Structure 1
């Protein structure tokens, strides 16, 4: 019925995925640093 709703949802989902990807990259950097100083970053190692 309201096609524009679907388009907005797609845009929101895309933005959310991009944000999650950015956060994941930041966490990877933090985790890499944390491995040299154990306990610094807290328990954020996964996979």
Structure 2
């Protein structure tokens, strides 16, 4: 479980570099990896 969380954090970091959204990154970090992917797609489409 810890490994998955680490992977999520790295992915979020990459997104943060592009969107520069600390709040979004923090929210994603709190959420699950699976949920994060769904949110990320939604966020990307929103733009």
The TM-score by the shorter chain falls in which range?
0.3 to 0.5
Higher RCO (CA-CA < 8 Å; seq separation 6+): 2
Q: Give TM-score scaled by structure 2 length.
A: 0.44
Q: Give TM-score scaled by structure 1 length.
A: 0.44
Q: Which has the larger radius of gyration?
A: 1
Kindly indicate which of the two structures has a greater share of residues assigned to helix.
2
